[in-house]
Structures are given as C-alpha cells and as structure tokens.
C-alpha cells in the first residue's frame, strides 16, 4: 500500500512523496518524491536523520488551519494521551499505543480529527520532551 507522507528532517528540510516500505523497526526506507517521473529511482531515507514522518490526507493541507492541541471531552480516544515537544519547539498532541523510552520512535495519532495528519511517526531523538497527559 502506498502511503502519502511528508518527511521532516531534524535540520528543517521537508520532502513529500509516497513510500511503500516504511517500517518503524527499520532505519532505511524509500521515498518517491512528488512530481518525479514514474520510472524514477526512489530515494533512500534514513530514519535517524529525521524529525518525523507524517502520514497525510493530502499534500497541500490548509495553511490557515491550526491543529487543536487538546482533546474534546465528549470524544473517546484510543491509547494513551501524549504530548511531544520537538527540539525545534513544535508541539504535537495525540494518542499513542507504542511509546516506550529507549525505542527509536513511536506513532502518534493527532488529538484533532480535522488535522491533515492521519498519524505521525516521531523519531525519539528529535523530541525534547515526551509526556503522558
């Protein structure tokens, strides 16, 4: 299955494209960037260089929309509520079922159902603070 992803590097670079082989337990996966010919060779992506991998609904999103950083009281959530502050100051709030200190990364599902992100794989080394809410 092809996943629409937006890759954010720790140094700020952003790549958008599709991946068919992203696995959270593997450091290497491949990305076919947007607007490349169908026969283009996929790029090697090393997860340890990244801040996060965002699995998105679409590539453009809505620049004017600000994701809600809180949970709605009447909406049940699955998993543990978590707050991630990245080293660059970005805040991500959502739920996780797989965060364990010492692992290279973990998935977060956004608290805001209207977010353009379906889920996000956070590279633990790019996080300044991770806390359960």
pLDDT tens-place string over residues 60-83: 888 888 888 888 877 778 899 999
Residue 90 has pLDDT above 90, yes or no: yes
The predicted pLDDT at position 66 comes to 84
Q: What are the domain boundaries of the chain?
A: 3-59+66-132
Helix (H, G, I), strand (E, B) or coil at 104: coil
How large is the average pLDDT for residues 99-107?
A: 95
pLDDT in tens, 26-62: 999 999 999 898 788 999 999 999 999 999 999 988 8
pLDDT at 71: 85
pLDDT of residue 75: 77
pLDDT score at 22: 95
SS (H, E, C) 85-100: EECCCCEEEEEECCCC
In this prediction, residue 53 carries a pLDDT of 98
Largest CA distance in the chain: 48
Instruction: Please work out, in degrees rounded to the nearest 5, the angle formed at the alpha carbon of residue 50 by the alpha carbons of 48 and 53.
Output: 115
Residue 103 token pair: 């692992």
Average pLDDT score, the chain: 93
Could you count the other beta carbons within 10 Å of the beta carbon of residue 31? Answer: 22
CA geometry: angle at 8 spanning 7 and 11, to 5°? 145
The candidate with the shortest Cα–Cα distance to 23, out of 51, 49, 3, is 3
DSSP letter at 45 equals E
- pLDDT above 90 for 18: yes
CA-CA distance, 69 to 92, in Å (whole number)?
Answer: 7
State the CB neighbour count (10 A cutoff) for residue 99.
Answer: 21
Q: What confidence score (pLDDT) does residue 120 get?
A: 98
- 8: pLDDT strictly greater than 90: yes
């Amino acid at each position: 299955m092809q996943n629409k992803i937006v890759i954010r590097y720790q140094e700020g670079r952003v790549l958008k494209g599709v991946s068919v082989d992203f696995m959270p337990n593997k450091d290497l996966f491949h990305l076919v960037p947007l607007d490349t010919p169908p026969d283009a060779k996929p790029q090697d992506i090393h997860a340890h260089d990244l801040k996060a991998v965002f699995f998105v609904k679409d590539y453009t999103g809505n620049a004017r929309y600000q994701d809600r950083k809180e949970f709605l009281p009447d909406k049940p959530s699955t998993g543990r509520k978590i707050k991630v502050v990245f080293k660059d100051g970005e805040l991500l709030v959502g739920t996780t079922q797989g965060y364990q200190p010492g692992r290279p990364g973990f998935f977060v599902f956004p608290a805001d159902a209207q977010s353009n992100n379906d889920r996000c794989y956070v590279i633990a080394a790019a996080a300044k603070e991770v806390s359960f809410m």
